[in-house]
Amino acid sequence: MQNSAEFGELRRSYRSFAFPLTVGFIAWYLLYVLLSNYAGGFMGSKLFGNVNVAFVFGIAQFVTTFLIAWWYSRHAAAKLDPKAEAIKSQMEGRA
């Protein structure tokens, strides 16, 4: 089954979604870390009240984490799970 076209399509669907999103998130995280280390003046800039750029970036890290998890869940339910279920059914039918 691992060499089947269906399994290959499932892997391609997963990789085409997960890898670019992972690279994008890591880049976003590294930007936050690098700015925190090397652009202290910018990150310390007050936006309003006691809220500065670093705080907004930090909260945005949490928000993007939850958005990516939600987006992946929707993608998996719509694209990956039906393909995986079809493969599972084929395998169980062969047994």
> Strand runs (DSSP E) across 45-95, as ranges?
46-48, 51-52
- Yes or no: say if 87 and 13 are a contact pair by the CB < 8 Å rule: no
Per-residue model confidence (pLDDT) at position 32: 95
Angle at 75 between CA 32 and CA 22, to 5 degrees: 25
Residue stretches of the chain with pLDDT short of 70:
94-95
Of 71, 47, 72, give the one whose Cα is nearest residue 58: 47
State whether residue 25 is helix, strand or coil: helix
- Yes or no: say if 79 and 18 are a contact pair by the CB < 8 Å rule: no
> Strand runs (DSSP E) across 5-56, as ranges?
46-48, 51-52
Rounded to two decimals, the pTM is 0.79
Per-residue model confidence (pLDDT) at position 20: 95
Per-residue model confidence (pLDDT) at position 48: 93
Rounded distance, CA 36 to CA 30, Å? 10
